[in-house]
Structure formats: C-alpha cells, structure tokens
Structure 1
Amino acid sequence: MGQLLSHPLTEKTIVYNEYEHFPANVSRHRLGHRSRQIEGKEEGKYAQFFNCVGSMQGYRLTQEDAHLVANCDNSLDVKFYDPFQDAEEVLRISLFGVFDGHGGGECSQYVSSEQNPREGISKWIKFAFETHEYGSVDVTPKSGRAFKHKFRTIEGLICQILKDAFLLQDRELYCHFAKESCGSTAIVALIINGEMLYVANTGDSRCVLSAKGGGVKTLSFDHKPQHIGELVRINDDGGTVSLGRVGGVLALSRAFGDFQFKTSVSYTNKAAGSSAGQKFVAPAQESQVTAEPDVLPHRISYDRDEFLILACDGIWDLYSNKNLVQFIKYHLTLGQKLDDIVTKLLEHGINSADSNTGVGFDNMTIIIIALNRPGESLAQWYAKMKTRLEREKGLIA
C-alpha cells in the first residue's frame, strides 16, 4: 500500500486500494500507510470499487499530476431533490479523478485536494447536487417550487449539475490563481448508488471502459484546439490557434485555470452582456479556454462491464484505447494483480521514451477501477476475470 518501487531513472508511486473486510461496526479505508476507523458505519452499505492508482514523474522536472479517490468510507453522501419523483433522496457517490497540471502543479493539486477529499472538486459536486434548481418537463412539484430550467431525463439533469460544479470550481480557482499561468485538465468518473456512471472531461485526459467480449467503450473525447467546435469557440472569443495550440501556447482547449485565456469572463456576479463604455462579458462556457466539461452517462451492467481506466495524456501518448485495455487483460489472464499491472504500465512508459517525438517524457498517472458486483470480493473479481478471459481466448471450454 503506497509503496515506492525503485527504477534506475525514476520512481513510481502505487496506491492499491483493496478495502479489506472488517467487522460490521468498523470500516476502514487504507491509503498509503494510513488507516482510519469509522465507528457506527456498516461495511455492507458502502460500494467498494477496488482500484489501483499509479503515478510517475518521469523525465519532467516536477510532478504536476494529481488524482482523487473518494470511495468506500470516503464516498460522498449527497442530499438530492429528484424532480422526476418529486422527492428528496440520498445519493452515495464514488468519485475518481485524474488531473493533469501544466504551468505548475498548483491547480491540479487544488482541484484534487488529495489530502482532503471533501475540498476541491468534491466539494463543488456535492454543492451542485444539493442546491440545483432544475426540474422535470413532465412532473409538476406539489410544493410549487420554481425551476430555472427543466429537463426531460434525469441523466440530462445530472450532466448539467456536473457542468455547474466544474464552473463553480473554476470560479474558486480564480480567487487564488487569477494572475498565474497554471492550469489543469480533469477526467472525473462518478458512480452513483453503484448503478449509474457519469464521466466528466475537461481537456485531454481520458476515460475508457472495458467490457466483456473485447469491448472497449470511449467515455470521453479529447478537447484539442484544432477540433472544429473548439476552434469556432476560440475564434469567436477573439483567440487564434497556431501550431495546434491556443495562442500558439496551450495544446488543449478546455482546462481549469489558464485565466490569461479567459479575459472576457467576469468572475463577479455581474450578468453577461454589454453596455455603452463597458467591455463585453462572455459566459464562462464561451471563453477561449473553458472549464466546462463534456459529460457522458452510462448505466453499469455488471454482467458485461469489467473495469474503468482513467489516465492523463502521458499514458495515452503511449497506448491507444484498445491497446491499453488489451495490455491490462493480458496480465489479468496471467493472474497478476492491479498493482503489478500498473507498475508494468509505468515501466513500459519510461522505457518507451523517445527524444525525437517527446513520447514518454510526460508525467504519467493512471487509475484502474474494478467494476465488481456489490458484495463481490476482490479475489472473486480476479477469479471471474481470469476465467472469462481464458474462455474468450479459447484456453478453457
């Protein structure tokens, strides 16, 4: 747990969250060498999505990546008004995120709040769920409450809540880093009540889902300045793209921070618009570089879905989506555990460094999340995966 594994050129930090079973009145979350007890919480009530985090500074002078795991005992309990049922309920959210900083690690560290999972983006996700003012097109609330917008599906409503949370986080960052040139991408996966998965992406980190039968589902799309929708927004806000970079500088078109590309946005409570003698104020969603994420929902099928991968672009520079899933599955077939697989991934990354292309020289961070059934142990998940993969390869009947 949290051990440092030596390498001639660099070192890797591996955090293997196994969530061992304890008596019903005591539940523990192990992270690194720390362990804490939560009295009065029944272990069976907590979704346990086993996971492993690996990170490596590599050839960069500093480590600008950060990550977030709020799961098991640390999962978010959120009071949520469901306008489609016209009822209050409590959602339990397991939260995983990878944040790839640039221009320094300040933004990525702030958003992830690794030392305090109740701050950073976790805080704003909880806030946005609990204070939303959205309703249903088809259901009239008995209370007569008013809504600023109505949705046809609960999935659409939750996607908007996550967009709100990201923009609120960016507003808070402005209070601390308005004059700085640092920024951060974000890929965040939320599993709500163990049933629905939502992936929110800002930037070029990525999330991929592995499914039964060799299925590989992309759950995010890279935000690059040369993509037509991004390019139009950048140009409309007075920006330019040269050499595939915003202003010839930034190689991605959405990020937290980077406020030098958000000068048309007002971070006060002034309404967007313009008047005589005043500068036009654009919505945060329309700035050259915006923190607004794309959000994709997915209903988890425990019969088909196997594991999630969240990783920064330093990993995806080396692997295609399919190749990375195949790499992990190959080693699961050999009976290897997630911490060993993540170690091999990072070692392969540093060994693949190419000074001509620059591939392999970036910071690298990856989270592999097992989509185990409720009540399924980690050993049972490993055994299930090994048997399934051997059968798919024709090694067993």
Structure 2
Amino acid sequence: MGAFLDKPKTEKFNGHGEGNGLRYGLSSMQGWRVEMEDAHTAVMGLPAPGMADWSFFAVYDGHAGSRVAHYCSKHLLEHIIGTDSGPGGTDDSVDAVDPTVEAVKSGIRSGFLRIDEHMRSFSDLRNGMDRSGSTAVGVLLSPERLFFINCGDSRAVLYRDGQVCFATLDHKPCDPREKERIQNAGGSVMIQRVNGSLAVSRALGDFDYKCVDGKGQTEQLVSPEPEVVELSRCPERDRFVVLACDGIWDVMSNEELCEFVRSRLEVSHDLERVCNEVVDTCLHKGSRDNMSVVLVLFPNAPKISEEAVRKDAELNKYLESRVEEMLSGSGEDGVPDLVTVMRNLSADNIPDLPPGGGLASKRSVIETVYQHLNPHREEDGVSVKALSRRCSI
C-alpha cells in the first residue's frame, strides 16, 4: 500500500535517553514512501503509582495514513496504565506496587482493546474519511521482567548471550490461526492479504475490517488484540532489545540486524548514530518502506572495543583508497559512475565488513569520497534499490 517518491527522503528523526539502568536511541526515516506513517514511544518512569522504575518503548507502523499510528504513540500507554484494569490499577485487588504477571498481561490486552474502541468514536475514522491503521510492537520493562507486546508485523527481538534469544511473531493473514479467524468472520485471504488488500491480520484502527455483525472485537477480520510474552530479565546476560517496523525487517533477518547492532556498538557509544546506520543500511539494501528503529540497551550491552575501532577505521581507509584508485585510473571510458564503483567493490574480497550490513552499510563512506573526488557527477537518477540489486550487496 502506498505510492513512492522519485527520490528517497533521508532526513532522520532522532532521540535518545537514559534512566532506570537503561539507555535508548531511536531513528526514523521516510525513505521512498510519499508519507511518513511511522511513530514511536519512549518513556522511562511510568506515570502510575509504584511504576517509576518501569519503562515502555514501542514502534507503530501506520498504513493508509498516519492518524492511528500517531494517536497511539501518544495515548496507548495511558490506556494500558491509566485505567482500573491497567498494570498499575486496582482491578481484582492488584497491588499497584507489585502487580502480578497476569495482571500486567491483562492490562496490556485491555489497553489495546480500549484504545481501539476509543478511536472508533473519532468522526474521521468512523465515517471513512480516514481509513488508517497501525501495527504496534513494544516492550514494557519492570526491574525484574520484560513484557513483549505485538499486534501486526512490526517486530521486537531480545539479544542475550551473544544471540537472538527471543523474537515476536508477525501477524500475517496466511498464518493458520489468523486465517481461521478471518474466514470465520466472512473474509478471505488472497495474495497473502486480508480480502486481497491488507497485509496484516492484527492492527489498531482499520475499522473497515472491523464491522462484521455478531462478531466480537477480537473476532473481526482484523483484530486489535496483542500477543504478550513475559520473560524474566537476566542482568548478567541481557544485552539489548531492538524494536523495528517491517521496513527494517524486509531486508534484514533477526540475526543480521542484531549482529550489525552489536558490531556498531563496539565502535560507537552514540546510540542515535548506531540507529541511523541501521536505517541507512536498510535503505541501501533496498527497503522501499518507512523505516523506524528503537534500540534499548541493558547495563551489559556491548562496549567500545579498541580493536573493533581500529579495524573499522582501516576498513574506511581501504574503501576510500579503492574509490580514489578507480577514479584516478579511469581511461577513455571516463570516470565510472557510482553503480560501477559499488559493483567493483562488491567483487573485492573485503575483510571486516560489518556483519549483517556488508558493503551496503559502508555506502555512505563510499559515496562521500566519490562525491568529494567527483563533485560534478549527477547520481540522483540512480535508484537505491536498483543499485543494491545490481551490485549484489
């Protein structure tokens, strides 16, 4: 869904913070889409009694507009914790200071259903003037636990002990359980989409798919019900959590993204920079969607490595010298374009490229030296997607 621009918008929105023993950074970029429909939430210290040492992070991937995603980014948390059935509430005699795991999970689920029903009352969403919807993926952290929350096909991963320990499961129409609900509501799954149109089977908003008479809120073609998974925190083993929309996951696997993040954390403590490298790399790998990533670091996250810093600097120097060599050695055919430079580099056996990112993660370095040495070359007509495909990066 959605049209594309002639040239990607690469300006980024960044943020970072620290508290409750955590550090976070985030980056979002519009990319090739005609509109930026992503949104995010990052809160350290929840505004509820006894929850000052809790934190909440989320990414929302809007579709058919940004209305639902932006509203949820501002209000979903208050629907989870600001009502009687929230984790910090008092339903079923839940102690606000130490809510049970089941009370928290119930509060999260109730918060999603409540905000979805609340948004249905908005006139523009009710009368069809705005048909937007949004996925939501998040993590709610207490001092002892992680609550992973997912509704749609954005994704969260936990990196622990040097590997992906946990990942949320995407809600896609072809999943047997999702397909059964869709068909029971009178719908169908065609070309892997709900009624041949919507690519996710759970989302907030999307009220055109939530109007089947006789079916409850979680029995509609598209359900607003999140899946919530609770894990105990392991202070000595937990490294980081990554939350991202499908514009990231379309071109990177769970393992690739986590290994790339780990390698970047060994050369930079600037979390905004690390997140920017993630979205830039995904753009150069061919992502055509909006891109958003939130990185949450635990105290035992990877630290700066002098060896990794040295190798990264040597790699950049090597790439710069190779680009200079190619441009200075051009003959009768003239100066090679950037596509040719990238193709030639991809044929090299280059050591120490960032895992998961490869040559695509160094395209900005290559492009900078290329433009410096050849400032009058016009490359705006080159599709990043075509470039990455033709260069096999």
Q: Do they superpose with TM above 0.5?
A: yes
Q: TM-score, normalised by structure 1?
A: 0.69
8 Å CA contact 2:65–2:132 kept in 1: the answer is yes
Pair 1:154 & 2:100 matched: yes
Q: Output the amino acid matched with 1:307.
A: F
CA distance in 2, matches of 1:90, 1:53: 23
Task: Indicate yes or no: 2:208 matched with 1:260.
Answer: yes
Instruction: Give the whole-Å Cα distance in 1 for the aligned partners of 2:93 and 2:52.
Output: 17
| Deviation at residue 18 of structure 1 after TM alignment | 4.1
Partner of 2:11: 12
Q: Does structure 1 retain, via aligned residues, the 8 Å contact 2:64–2:131?
A: yes
Distance in 1 separating the partners of 2:131 and 2:260: 36
**1:339 & 1:131 partners in 2: Cα distance?**
34
Q: Gaps (5+ residues) in structure 1?
A: 1-7, 20-45, 80-88, 114-119, 142-152, 265-278, 354-359, 374-380, 391-397
User: Which structure has the larger Rg?
Assistant: 2
Distance 2:20 2:234 in 1: 15
* CA displacement 1:50-71 (0-9 Å, x = unmatched): 1111101001000000001111
2:76 to 121, 124, 130: 121
Kindly report which structure 2 residues correspond to 1:64-103, keeping only aligned pairs within 5 A, or say none: 64-71=37-44, 75-79=45-49, 90=51, 92-103=53-64
CA deviations over 1:362-384 (Å, ceiling 9, x no partner): 000000011127xxxxxxx563x
Paired with 1:247 and 1:308, the residues of 2 have a C-alpha distance of: 34
Counterpart residue number, 2:253: 320
Paired with 2:107 and 2:79, the residues of 1 have a C-alpha distance of: 10
5+ long unaligned stretches in structure 2: 1-6, 310-393
> SS of 2:158's equivalent?
strand
Find the aligned partners of 1:286 and 1:389 in 2 and give their Cα distance.
Answer: 51
Per-residue deviation, 1:14: 4.4
Find 1:51's aligned residue among 17, 20, 24.
24
For each residue in 1:8-45, what CA deviation from the matched residue of structure 2 results, as whole angstroms up to 9, or x when unmatched?
Answer: 842232424244xxxxxxxxxxxxxxxxxxxxxxxxxx
Residue 338 (structure 1) shift: 2.1
Amino acid of the structure 2 residue aligned with 1:211: R
Alpha-carbon distance in 2 for matches of 1:185, 1:349: 20
Q: Distance in 2 between matches of 1:10 and 1:344?
A: 15
Where 1:169 maps in the other structure, the secondary structure is helix
The answer as to 2:65 corresponding to 1:104 is yes
Q: Which residue of 2 aligns with 1:283?
A: 216
Provide the rounded CA distance (Å) in 2 between the counterparts of 1:387 and 1:159: 42
1:372 to 287, 299, 302: 299
**Cα RMSD (Å) of the superposition?**
2.4
Residue 352 and residue 198 in structure 1: after superposition, are their counterparts in 2 closer, same or farther (change >3 A)?
Answer: same
Q: Structure 1 90/59 Cα, relative in aligned 2: closer, same or farther at 3 Å?
A: closer
Secondary structure at the aligned position of 2:264 is classed as helix
* 1:294 aligned residue (214, 224, 227): 227
Instruction: Describe how 1:343-362 pairs up with structure 2 within 5 A.
Output: 343-353=276-286, 360-362=287-289
TM-superposed deviation, 1:133 = 2.9
Percent sequence identity is 29
Q: Distance in 1 between matches of 2:92 and 2:305?
A: 44
Give the Cα separation in 2 of the matches to 1:290 and 1:387.
49
CA contact (8 A) 1:99 1:108 kept: yes
CA distance in structure 1 between the partners assigned to 2:169 and 2:308 by the alignment: 28
Distance 1:254 1:191, change over 3 A: same
In the alignment, does 2:187 pair up with 1:239?
A: yes
TM norm structure 2: 0.70
SS at match of 1:221: coil
What amino acid sits opposite 2:108 in the alignment? L
1:243 and 1:100 map into 2 onto residues whose CA distance is 21
Q: Is the 8 A contact 1:12 1:346 kept in 2?
A: no
> Any conservation in 2 of the 1:12–1:343 contact (CA below 8 Å)?
no
1:141-193 Cα offsets, whole Å, 9 max, x none, are: 9xxxxxxxxxxx9323321211011000101110112223110000011112x
Select 1:199's aligned residue among 137, 142, 148: 148
Q: 2:35 aligns with which of 40, 50, 62?
A: 62
Alignment partners' CA distance in 2, 1:110 and 1:92? 25
Could you say which structure has the higher helix fraction? 2
1:92 offset after TM fit, Å? Answer: 3.6
For residues 129 and 63 of structure 1, the distance between their equivalents in structure 2, rounded to whole angstroms, comes to 32
Which has the higher mean CA deviation after the structures are superposed, 101-110 or 194-203?
A: 194-203
Which structure is higher in strand share? 1
- Conserved? CA contact 1:203–1:222, under 8 Å: yes
Tell me the distance in 2 between the aligned counterparts of 1:91 and 1:285.
Answer: 32
Q: Secondary structure at the match of 2:283?
A: helix
Once the 2 structures are TM-superposed, how far is the Cα of residue 91 of structure 1 from its aligned partner? Answer: 5.9
Runs of 4+ in 1 over 6 A off after TM superposition: 387-390
**1:278-335 deviation per Cα after TM superposition (whole angstroms, max 9, x unaligned):** x52x221111101100001111111000000000000000110000011111122334
Offset of residue 102 of structure 1: 0.2
- Equivalents in 1 of 2:247, 2:77: separation in Å? 24
Match of 1:329 among 250, 262, 266: 262
